Amino acid sequence: RDLHSFPTRRSSDLEEAEAHRAEVQRFADRFSGYYLPVIAGVAALTFLIRHDPLATTAVLVVACSCSIALATPIAMLASIGASARRGLLIKGGKYLEALARADVLLIDKTGTLTLGRPEITDIVPVSKLSRSELLTLAASAERFSEHPLAEAVRVAAEQEDLPFQEVKDFEAVPGMGIRANVNGSFLVVGNRRLVPEAGAFAAELEEEGKTLLFVSRNGELAGVLAAADTLRPEVPAALDQVRNLGIKRIELLTGDNERVASALAQRLGVEFRANLLPGHKIGAVRAYQAEGHRVVMVGDGVNDAPALAQADIGIAMGAAGSDIAIEAAHVALMREDWLLVPEVFRIARRTLGVVKMNLVFTALYNVVGLALAALGFLPPILAAAAQSLPDLGILGNSARLLRQR
Could you confirm whether 108 is annotated as catalytic? yes
- Integer CA distances (angstroms), 404 to 100, 216, 332, 346, in order: 16, 53, 18, 10
Task: Tell me the residue type at 360.
Answer: V
Given the residues 108, 229, 300, 304, select the one marked as catalytic: 108
Q: How far apart are CA 155 and CA 172, in angstroms?
A: 19
Give catalytic residues, as residue numbers.
108
